[in-house]
């Protein structure tokens, strides 16, 4: 088990493929090289990080998106939220929330309930089992520092700051 995980499905290259892409890109005179490299890096980083986290969550039969939904519910005052509000907070499309809640409900970690006032809305309510699994999964993730333990706190914060700008420009908040 010296391997970093299943998402690393081949030998390490002797060069950085993104640095190589940057070189080629420049030599073709294609422009916006920094943007290209940043975007490609984000893409690959996402793939790595999600892969690691899903590996950590597999023992609990969870994925990161389902885990995020559980955490959001466990943080809410009553353990219940309308699906629409969940979509806003999790920053995903409404249909993704439906999908996620379908699976969590099937697994007994969440239950759907009618909204007391608005009959269009549906409340997702976390179950006791849902809370228990969330606790265990959180312990595992924190223990493994979400798979990014090699990075220093400073690097993590730099990352978050740069990406916050991106998110704000995209209209996520403010």
Partner DNA sequence: CGACAATACTAGGACTTCCAACTATCGGCC
Partner DNA sequence: GGCCGATAGTTGGAAGTCCTAGTATTGTCG
Where along the sequence are the contacts to DNA (CB under 7 A)? 5-7, 9, 47, 51, 63, 65-66, 82-85, 87, 91-103, 112, 115, 118-123
Smallest separation (angstroms) from DNA to the CB of 120: 4
How is the beta sheet containing 122-126 ordered, strand by strand?
A: 80-82, 122-126, 110-114
Among a second copy, DNA, none, the one that 148 touches (CB under a kind-dependent 5 to 8 A) is a second copy
Tokens read off for 85: 């509000």
* C-beta closer to a second copy: residue 1 or 169: 169
Measured between its terminal Cα atoms, the distance across the chain in Å is: 45
Among DNA, a second copy, none, the one that 165 touches (CB under a kind-dependent 5 to 8 A) is a second copy
Smallest separation (angstroms) from a second copy to the CB of 62: 15
Among a second copy, DNA, none, the one that 66 touches (CB under a kind-dependent 5 to 8 A) is DNA
Give the dihedral sign, CA 152/154/160/163: negative
Which of 78, 102, 75, 103 is closest to 90 using CA atoms? 75
């Amino acid at each position: 088990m010296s391997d970093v995980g299943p998402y690393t499905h081949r030998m390490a290259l002797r060069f950085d493929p993104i640095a190589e892409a940057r070189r080629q890109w420049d030599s073709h005179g294609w422009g916006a090289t920094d943007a290209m490299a940043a975007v490609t890096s984000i893409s690959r980083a996402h793939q790595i990080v999600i892969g690691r986290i899903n590996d950590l969550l597999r023992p609990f039969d969870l994925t990161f998106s389902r885990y995020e939904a559980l955490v959001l519910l466990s943080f809410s005052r009553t353990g219940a939220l309308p699906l629409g509000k969940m979509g806003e907070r999790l920053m995903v499309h409404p249909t993704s929330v439906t999908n996620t809640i379908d699976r969590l409900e099937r697994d007994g970690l969440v239950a759907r309930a009618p909204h007391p006032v608005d009959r269009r809305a549906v409340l997702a309510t976390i179950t006791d089992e849902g809370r228990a699994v969330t606790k265990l999964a959180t312990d595992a993730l924190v223990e493994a520092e979400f798979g990014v333990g090699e990075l220093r706190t400073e690097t993590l914060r730099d990352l978050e700051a740069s990406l916050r700008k991106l998110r704000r420009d995209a209209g996520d908040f403010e």
